[in-house]
Structure formats: C-alpha cells, structure tokens
Amino acid sequence: MALDLEEQEQVDEAKAWWKQHGNKVIWGVTIFLLAAAGWRGWETWRHNQAAEASMLFDKSVQAIGMNDMKTAKAAAAQIMENHAGSAYGTPAAWLAGRISYEANDTKSARAQYEFALEHARDEGVRQLARLRLAALHFEENDLTGALKLLEASFDPAFQGLSEQLKGDVLAAQNKPAEARAAYTLALEKLGEKSPLKPLLEIRLDGLGG
C-alpha cells in the first residue's frame, strides 16, 4: 500500500511539473523542429538558386558566342536581379557592362559596373570595377567623377593602370605638372616590359617640361 502511495505521489508530481512546464517543452521541441526544417529548406533553396544562376550564366556566355547579345544581356540581367548575392552576380554584371559598352550604351554600362563594384566579393575585382567605372566617367567627360574613383587606394598590380588614367584625367583638367607626376609613377609601377610604356612616354613628351 505504501508503494502505491509513493507511486501516486510521483505521478502527482509529474502531473504538476508537466502542468507548469509542459507548454515550454512543447514550444521548445516545436521551435527546434521548425528550425531544423527551415535550415534544410534554406539549404535546398540556396542550392536551387545557385544552380539556376549557373544555368543563366552559361546561357549568357553561350549567347555571346553566338553573337546573340539580346539574350546574353537578358540572362545576365536576370542573374543581377534574382541572384545578386551569388557567385555569378558580379561576373554577370561585368558581361552586361561589356555588352552595353560595345553597344555605345554607356549609361547602362556604368550602372552595371557599379553593380559589380558593389557586389564583388574579391578586392581585386572591386578595384578592376573601380578602374572601369573611372574610365567610363572619363569618356563621358565627367573628370571630377573619374578622379574621385581613382583617389581610392589600389594594389600594386593595378596602381600603374590607375596612375595612367589619373594622368589622362589631370591632363584633361589642364594640370600638366600633376599629370606628369601621375604618368611618371605609372611608368614606375607598370615596369619596363609593359606594352603601355611607349604610350606613356609619348604622353609625357606631349606635356613638355
């Protein structure tokens, strides 16, 4: 009889504990299951998104090979719109920028290279995008905008190109002394074997002094 009373006390205690904590347990288990399901769903979604971005990028590249620029640009635009954060976002923007530039649509090209600059994961790609944007600003005679982009620091691999472009901008602004300094630094950074060296020397000679 004592055992029965002891068991009843344990049952009563369990009931009381469950009454107090049962909802927390249920919610905890539910949240865990939902989180696990959500993570699996997220992983599946991310995989599907990456596969779709890859397919669209291949489509864009193949269309360029077939000289179908309309299809190429449309596929690249779809990547930029729906898969900007994927590994294909920046390359797609670069392709679209090239297509726009070759079609003399510099306004669209600038927007696409700005997208590449904003979404690039690699610092080298960001610096290339900044150089390309600066060149577009220069071509559009936006000398202040070009110079602003070139004021940012560049790695040694890109510094020669940035200084050359900076020299062009400064020369266009009628600042020969500053342009000469930029061209001189560009020659130093590009090195003796650079195919750009003769062009830079001609520009330096043209500045006089």
Q: What is the DSSP letter of 174?
A: T
Question: At residue 32, does pLDDT exceed 80?
Answer: no
Question: At residue 30, does pLDDT exceed 80?
Answer: no
**In the chain, what percentage of residues exceed pLDDT 90?**
19
Question: At residue 23, does pLDDT exceed 70?
Answer: no
Higher pLDDT, 13 or 188: 188
Q: Which domains does the chain have, with CATH numbers?
A: 25-121 (1.25.40)
All residues at 6 or more sequence positions from 184 whose CB lies less than 8 Å from its CB, including other chains: 204
Question: At residue 21, does pLDDT exceed 90?
Answer: no
Buried b (16+ CB within 10 A) or exposed e, 59-89: bbeebbeeeebeebbebbbbbbeebbebebb
Are 187 and 200 contacting, i.e. CB atoms less than 8 angstroms apart?
Answer: yes
Residue 122's pLDDT is 81
pLDDT digits (tens, 9 = 90+) for 124-169: 888 888 888 999 999 899 999 999 999 988 888 889 899 999 999 9
Q: For residue 76, what are its two tokens? A: 């690249």
Task: Give the HSE-up count for residue 21: Cα atoms under 13 Å, Cβ half-sphere.
Answer: 9
Mean pLDDT throughout 80-107? 85
**In the chain, what percentage of residues exceed pLDDT 70?**
76
List alpha helices for 66-142, DSSP H: 69-82, 89-102, 106-119, 123-139
Residue 87's pLDDT is 79
Question: At residue 105, does pLDDT exceed 50?
Answer: yes
Q: For residue 15, what are its two tokens? A: 């009931």
Residue 169's pLDDT is 93
Please give the Cα distance from 98 to 101 (Å, whole number): 5
Q: How many CB atoms lie within 10 A of CB 45?
A: 10
- Considering the chain, what is the average pLDDT of its residues? 79
Residue 193's pLDDT is 81
Give the confidence band of 27 by pLDDT, cuts at 50, 70, 90.
low
Backbone angles phi, psi at 8, to 5 degrees: -65, -40
pLDDT digits (tens, 9 = 90+) for 34-88: 444 444 544 554 566 677 878 888 888 888 888 888 998 898 888 888 888 777 8
